Amino acid sequence: MNAHHDNAPLYRHFAELLHRTIGLDAASLGHSAIERAVDQRAAAWYADGHADATLADYCQAAQNSPAILQALIEAVVVPETWFYRDADAFKALAKLARERLDERGTALPLRILSLPCSTGEEPYTIAMTLLDAGIEPTQLRIDAMDISERSLAVARRAVYGRNSFRGNAFPFRDAHFTRAEDGWRLAQRVVETVQFARANLMQLDASALGVYDFVFCRNVLIYFDREAQQTALHVLNSMLAGKGTLFVGPAETGLLMRYGMQSAKIPLAFAFHRGAPEDASLNTWHTAPLSNAAALAMTSARMPAFAPAQVFSAKPFAWLDPVAPATVDAVARDVPRHETTRSTPVGSRAPHARKASILESQTPDRLSSQIAAPTRTASDTLKTAHTLADAGRLEEAATALNTYLAHHAPHAEAFYPLGVLADANSEPAVARAHYRKALYLDPQHAEALAHLATLLELEGDRHGASLLKQRATRAQGAQRG
């Protein structure tokens, strides 16, 4: 037998210790990842004067020494963040913050919490966003908390390398950073708006912190089991002001719907408010239809049915380079309106009695001829669909994506948003099919992996969800590299 098999009960004990301490669900991260972290820290402990010790001795030491346990936590917690990650959340924050100040005045500062804050990119993005929106530093109080002392040290230093900047356009870097010998240094004016502190979400004394207008707790709840999620959401709810807004990660929206919170209905911001007392109790879990992308649902109207499965007979396009998004008005100008012609959107099962929108007010033949014209490339069509979705024009986005798939080779960036839109339309089976198509074309599509994992978990397939979460983590790591 190998050593890992012999020590299996001890590894389970470490997993239980981490669950009790920080709420980590070993299955979400992967048992092998926890075993590697334990082996790494145990080896360091052996080398530090405990050469004759065993893994059982190290386990006992971790239970008795907060410092040894903290070192293990540091090995398990791997930061994965960058500036303006899921940028629509910050656009929404700027708008909501201005509305909040206009509503109550500036006598009291806005209170914003980032938890966990990792290495500081999120709270500093919050600060840059609000300062750029014209809000004065004196009108802000941004608290940033994390369990990792190592991450907090990086955050306080405020010097960042290339992994913290994703994409191609960095106007914020030119505005708020200066070149340093080992990266980019954030302006002191921004640094001074954020207060960092070490905190454990599972052991937080929320009553001592007061309430916050905005809380960012993104991409951490997916690593908790049901019990830990409920504990965390009770804490977050108790810290949220009456009209406050909670921002979560894209794969966590279904969880908040299940918990009884209400979508703020801001496209792609993944923002939530407290549920109405008569509609939901924050002390129980609900079994209403779930939607990973519930924050996208802008109206009560049903979206068009989605295109059927296609046979993949052509190679996918190369990955589309990100570009500055077009305005919605520009998109509208690009697609001529024909008031007298109307048809059912491509892929629809039945006609829909609703007001014609820009894209669906045209026959499929005419729309496809515009898409196929030399002035509109396949890449432009996908960008148009994404822009419409970002603006909350979901029916038009779905129509554009279905039309694209009817006339071009399959592409992951068409199937993935169709999955998100189906999620928002409470059609999990359709969403699952589209996510799987996206992954067939791009096995490393981190967002599709994360969304599909959440769907499987909510359907009771925890093993399948765990495998997909591990793949998503590896895919995000590859993107970071």
Please write the tens of the pLDDT for every residue from 5-61.
Answer: 568 889 999 989 998 888 888 887 788 888 999 999 999 999 999 999 999 999 999
pLDDT at residue 305 greater than cutoff 50: no
What is the arithmetic mean of pLDDT over 96-108?
Answer: 91
* Whole-number pLDDT of residue 333: 38
The lowest-confidence range among 10-14, 218-222, 325-329, 460-464 is 325-329
How far apart are the C-alpha atoms of 397 and 391, rounded to whole Å?
9
DSSP string, 118-138: TTTHHHHHHHHHHHHTT--GG
Top pLDDT among 422 and 186 is at 186
**CA angle in degrees (0–180, nearest 5) for 91-92-95:** 90
Please write the tens of the pLDDT for every residue from 307-323.
Answer: 333 332 222 222 233 33
* Whole-number pLDDT of residue 340: 31
pLDDT at residue 300 greater than cutoff 50: no
The half-sphere exposure of 123 on its side-chain side, counting CA atoms within 13 A, is 32
- DSSP SS3 for 74: helix
* Whole-number pLDDT of residue 323: 32
The domain made up of 88-288 is a member of CATH 1.10.10.10: no
The lowest-confidence range among 69-73, 249-253, 321-325, 459-463 is 321-325
Q: Where are the domains of the chain?
A: 3-76, 88-288, 328-442
Cβ atoms within 10 Å of 123's Cβ, excluding its own: 26
How far apart are the C-alpha atoms of 142 and 126, rounded to whole Å?
8
Please write the tens of the pLDDT for every residue from 51-83.
Answer: 999 999 999 999 999 999 999 998 888 777 899
- The mean of the pLDDT values for the chain is 75
* Whole-number pLDDT of residue 199: 92
Top pLDDT among 469 and 85 is at 85
What is the share, in percent, of the chain residues with pLDDT greater than 70?
A: 73
Q: Residue 446 — very low, low, confident or very high, per pLDDT cuts 50/70/90?
A: confident
Residue 225 in contact with residue 244, Cβ under 8 Å?
no
What is the arithmetic mean of pLDDT over 411-424?
Answer: 82
How far apart are the C-alpha atoms of 398 and 151, rounded to whole Å?
40
* Whole-number pLDDT of residue 277: 54
pTM to 2 decimal places: 0.60
* Whole-number pLDDT of residue 443: 87
The lowest-confidence range among 7-16, 110-119, 215-224, 270-279 is 270-279
How far apart are the C-alpha atoms of 250 and 85, rounded to whole Å?
11
Please write the tens of the pLDDT for every residue from 327-382.
Answer: 434 433 333 333 333 333 333 333 333 333 323 333 334 333 333 333 355 667 77
The lowest-confidence range among 11-20, 90-99, 399-408 is 399-408
Query: Roughly what angle, to the nearest 10 degrees, separates helices 394-407 and 364-372?
Result: 70
Segment 455-463 long-range contacts (CB within 8 Å, at least 24 positions apart): 455/254, 455/292, 455/423, 455/428, 455/431, 458/254, 458/258, 458/290, 458/428, 459/428, 462/27, 463/27
DSSP-assigned letter for residue 16? H
What is the arithmetic mean of pLDDT over 162-186?
Answer: 89
* Whole-number pLDDT of residue 279: 45
Residue 303 in contact with residue 366, Cβ under 8 Å?
no
Question: In angstroms, how far apart are the furthest CA atoms of the chain?
Answer: 85
* Whole-number pLDDT of residue 477: 62
Q: Which CATH class is domain 328-442?
A: mainly alpha
Residues in the chain: 481
What is the arithmetic mean of pLDDT over 256-280?
Answer: 78
How far apart are the C-alpha atoms of 180 and 182, rounded to whole Å?
5
Q: Residue 206 — very low, low, confident or very high, per pLDDT cuts 50/70/90?
A: confident
